[in-house]
Structure 1
Amino acid sequence: MNLEFGGFIMQGAPLTDEIAISLSQLIDDSQATNRRDPSHSDLDFIVQKAELWIVDPKNEGRNVGKAKRLRAVLYWALENDIKKGEKLVKSVISIVKASGGFRKDSINYTGQEQIENLMQAFKSTGYGLTLNGEIQPVILDNLSEKEMSEALHNYIRRAKQGVEDAALVAGTGKDLMEAVAAHVILKKMGSYPSQANFPTLLGQAFMMVGVATSYYKKDSSNPEPATHRFEKSLYELACSINKLRNKERTGHGRPFLSNLSQEESISAIESIGVVAEYLLNKLELNIKTT
């Protein structure tokens, strides 16, 4: 089952280093008096379903505990196949919830500390985990400056890896590029023009961190920096991708118009990640040097 938020479909649940550690602790029953579900056979099923069985220590004949086993698979996915890893994260949370792992009165209760650790790990991804195991979008405006930056970087990382739901920022009406542009303007000006069209909003964000756009007029007395052509191309790329955005978010949650192929959509998402990362990095460098 996919997670859906008002037409926005999340194919998996975010995966980071912190989530990999916290999620592994959630199923660790090595210190418990009695064995808790999910069992090793439960893990067999969901690891195979996520197509990660080939890197599972159990498949390699190693006798390891559930926590160490899951952590090994998630770390491999984090480095090599984030989509499969995110699918596994969602499956683990679902099976822990179905087993009663989030209920204090259940024999399979995982423990308040373990749940709170995982909740904290999710917070910096732009998603939240409730005490009863529900994954929900976080309102980015409610995050601290550090958490906001971490959330946007996490979206960017996932977009660069072609994760489809990363193109739209859950809990907002913005796509990732628009969210980053708004964040830049808000940081520099204290507010941003919510009614501005995308090219204007992005152009203002570029300008505020010293990045060139198509509207840049070079000083005829000085040669144009070599980076300007690159930056102008990034601006045009972002604007062209924005035109492909599926504003109504129909077509089974896909972020782009339905006449785009899957391969074209993934390329567009990866490109969004490249432009967004460049702009966000420029903002952070700008803040450090002022």
Structure 2
Amino acid sequence: MALPINDTIIAAVSQLIDDSKSNGQYRDPTHSDIDFYVNQAGLAAFDPKGQGQTVGKAKRLRAILHEALEKSLPGGPTLIASILSKVKACGGFRESSPNFVGSEAIANAQAAFDAEGYALSADGSIGPKVLDSLRGAELTAALRAYAERARKGSQDAALLAGTSKDLLEATAAHALMTINGNYPTGANFQSLLGMAFVAVGLAVPEMPEQPGESPIKAMERGMFASAIGVNRLRNKQGTGHGRPFLSTLTEDEAKAAIEIMGCVASYVLAKLAAHRR
């Protein structure tokens, strides 16, 4: 599972390993622990400690993760996951532990991940929100978070954890539920997406061009056609590794498909928000 990474998450996760003392003792994880996880993530080249600087644990981790974010390195999410696991293992989320990180630090981390569609529990467990259990504004926010990640090419955002739907299907169903109070569960993808497009006021290819219509309608028809094309690339059987698309696709093709999903989902959600105002 690839965890999200952004400036807010970096700040919140770094806060979990700050250099506060408890009874004169520094909390785990130690600098040595961080050495191990940084090397494991392949980010040693960006470690201030390795460059001869003397920095605290939080500042050190922030510097490494910011470099990973800036350079879009896969080691960034890997390091975040490792640090969270270590903090959990050494009692950082347990109030009775000398390594307890504090309620405020935990709340900040929970809020940071929540905004990206992930749930960090009080005991330190983390995973994507189960979208089938969300409704209304909470589901809208979670879908927006996944759409934004998909626009950046994140594969796990394209095939949503905790639901059989992919991002576009979940977005279409949510739009129809919000506007009509229900959606046809037996409809195929093209019909479901078409109904959602029409419900939020978007053009579909079946709607002939009208004299003097806005050029944006041509773009909307193109977005719909692209979404249908992306759906045909779906790996309906799954690979067991969360890959949302056929294994015959190149990385560039899969990335483009994911970004299209994110773009279309974001547009539908924006129009849904405008429709509700």
Q: 2:264 maps to what in 1?
A: 275
1:78-157 matches, within 5 Å, as 78-81=69-72, 83-140=74-131, 142-143=133-134, 145-157=136-148
Equivalent pairs: percent with the same residue?
A: 48
Match runs of 1:233-272 below 5 Å: 233-250=222-239, 252-272=241-261
Asked if structure 2 preserves the Cα contact closer than 8 Å seen for 1:55 and 1:76, the reply is yes
Match of 1:13 in 2: 3
1:191 offset after TM fit, Å? 2.0
- Find the aligned partners of 2:47 and 2:276 in 1 and give their Cα distance: 43
Equivalent pairs counted in the alignment come to 276
* RMSD of Structure 2 on Structure 1 (CA): 2.3
Gaps of 5+ in 1: 1-9
Deviation at 1:203, TM superposition (A): 0.8
SS at the partner of 2:227? helix
Q: Distance in 1 between matches of 2:240 and 2:80?
A: 25
Structure 2 counterpart of 1:188, from 160, 179, 183: 179
The match for 1:216 among 203, 207, 213 is 207
* Residue 48 of structure 1 pairs with residue 52 of structure 2: no
Summarize the Cα distance change of 1:88–1:244 in structure 2 as closer, same or farther, 3 Å threshold.
same
Q: CA deviation at 1:143?
A: 4.3
Partner of 2:152: 161
Q: 2:132·2:162 contact (CA, 8 Å) conserved in 1?
A: no
AA aligned to 1:151 is A
The corresponding residue for 1:72 is 63
Write the distance in 2 (CA, Å) between the matches of 1:157 and 1:55.
27
Please report the TM-score for the alignment, with normalisation by the length of structure 2: 0.88
Q: Structure 1 195/282 Cα, relative in aligned 2: closer, same or farther at 3 Å?
A: same
Q: Tell me how far apart the structure 1 counterparts of residues 63 and 173 of structure 2 sit (CA, whole Å).
A: 38
Determine helix, strand or coil for the equivalent of 1:203: helix
- The residue type paired with residue 230 of structure 1 is M
Instruction: Please state whether the residue corresponding to 1:128 is helix, strand or coil.
Output: strand
The answer on whether the counterparts of 2:132 and 2:163 sit within 8 Å (CA) in structure 1 is: no
**Residue 95 of structure 1, CA deviation:** 1.7
For 1:69, the aligned partner's letter is: R
Q: Deviations over 1:190-212 (max 9, x none)?
A: 22222211111111111122211
Gaps of 5+ in 2: none
User: How far did residue 142 of structure 1 move?
Assistant: 4.4
CA contact (8 A) 1:103 1:109 kept: yes
Query: Corresponding residue for 1:287?
Result: 276
